[in-house]
Amino acid sequence: MARIRLRIDFDGEHYIGHGRIELLELIGRHGSISQAAKAMGMSYKRAWYLIDGFNAMFREPLIERHQGGRGGGSATLTPFGERMIAEYRAMEAKALHVFAEPVRFLEDRLVKAANGRRKPKTAAPRRQ
């Protein structure tokens, strides 16, 4: 079953992609950046910078960080963060519907069986 992932580039610098949305969702689910990073198999530092950049892209914040006591702080989604996820996931779902025909056209032409794979004409890169 095909899946369509969307990346919205607002300009050369600002974009929304499935990785950022997934991280945002996991922060909402776990209530913590470190737990979300762990769930994505990503370092805490990388997740922190990813969500920090995403959070600073908009005039409203996507998450709120709360300095905690002993157990460390927590992070929660703002209503705008929830809205961001909902908009993106709705677009993804709609894309599958809107593009069902061209996706099926391409899917029907995929090599299915491993033994049906066409061999490359040349065995190794040769400048051409």
DSSP β-ladder status, 15-16 and 74-77 = unpaired
Under the criterion CB under 8 A, does residue 93 sit at the interface with its own copies?
Answer: no
Q: How far apart are CA 91 and CA 98, in angstroms?
A: 10
DSSP structure class, residue 113: S
Query: Binding its own copies by CB under 8 A: which of 69, 70, 79, 122?
Result: 122
Question: What separation, in Å, do the N-terminal and C-terminal C-alpha atoms of the chain show?
Answer: 36
Under the criterion CB under 8 A, does residue 66 sit at the interface with its own copies?
Answer: yes
Where do contacts with its own copies occur on this chain (CB under 8 A)? 2-10, 14, 16, 32-34, 44-45, 48-49, 52, 55-61, 65-68, 72-75, 80, 84, 87, 90-91, 94-95, 98-99, 102-103, 105-107, 109-111, 116-122, 125-128
